[in-house]
Amino acid sequence: NISSLCCSGSRSSKTFKPKKNIPEGSHQYELLKHAEATLGSGNLRMAVMLPEGEDLNEWVAVNTVDFFNQINMLYGTITDFCTEESCPVMSAGPKYEYHWADGTNIKKPIKCSAPKYIDYLMTWVQDQLDDETLFPSKIGVPFPKNFMSVAKTILKRLFRVYAHIYHQHFDPVIQLQEEAHLNTSFKHFIFFVQEFNLIDRRELAPLQELIEKLTSKDR
């Protein structure tokens, strides 16, 4: 179970966001349990498919929350290695550099260190997930018309955290014996965004080779 793999104490407190909980007893909670059960079968292609009779928006919402929690946790394990000094810019290898803008507080993209960028990013995602008008948790409350475009932006940005970890911090991931966990989480993420066409291929370019390697076995 991914959620039981938690990070120890203070090292992850720097940018570690509180886990976003889906209320127990809610339909979304049932969907999350369904997702966890199908993941347990080991067939990720099957696990990401929309369950019969379910609402696509709701399925995307539940999984987006789950990926936020997973990435939050994975990044939390390597925050000691991701510092202003080690990562003065937010990058995914030498060819890809990301500048932060959220369109409201920071309109013009700013160049900042990776820990700062990821803190901005995760705080922004958390704010979206906590917004009941965007991510309604109550049964019968409809999703807004722009929900899919918001979800796509969230997933596009969460991908960048995976890309940064893989390119800049893979050694500590191996030392911490987190490699299998990271690969499984990322593979699940990629299968999900591929299934519903949620991230533009160009955005995935920094990890294209890895994506091909991880997904070729499961065609």
Strand ranges in the chain using DSSP code E only, listed in sequence order: 90-91, 97-98
Three-state secondary-structure class, residue 90: strand
Q: Are 22 and 65 in contact (CB under 8 A)?
A: yes
Q: Is 181 labelled a binding residue?
A: no
**Residue 156: its H or E element:** helix 147-168
- Contacts by residues 83-88 (CB-CB < 8 Å, ≥ 24 positions apart): 83/113, 83/115, 84/113, 84/115, 84/116, 86/168, 87/113, 87/114, 87/115, 87/164, 87/168, 88/113, 88/114
Task: Report the interhelical angle of 179-195 vs 208-216 (nearest 10°).
Answer: 90
169 labeled part of a ligand binding site: yes
Confirm or deny that 164 is annotated as ligand binding.
yes
Phi (first) and psi of residue 84, to 5 degrees: -55, -35
CA 94 to chain centre: 22
Q: Which residues neighbour 90 within 8 Å (Cβ) at sequence distance 6 or greater?
A: 97, 98, 99, 100, 112, 113, 114, 116, 117, 118, 160, 164
Which H or E run contains 124?
helix 114-130
Q: Strand, helix or coil at 151? A: helix
List residues forming the annotated binding site for Zn(2+).
Answer: 82, 87, 164, 169
List residues forming the annotated binding site.
Answer: 82, 87, 164, 169
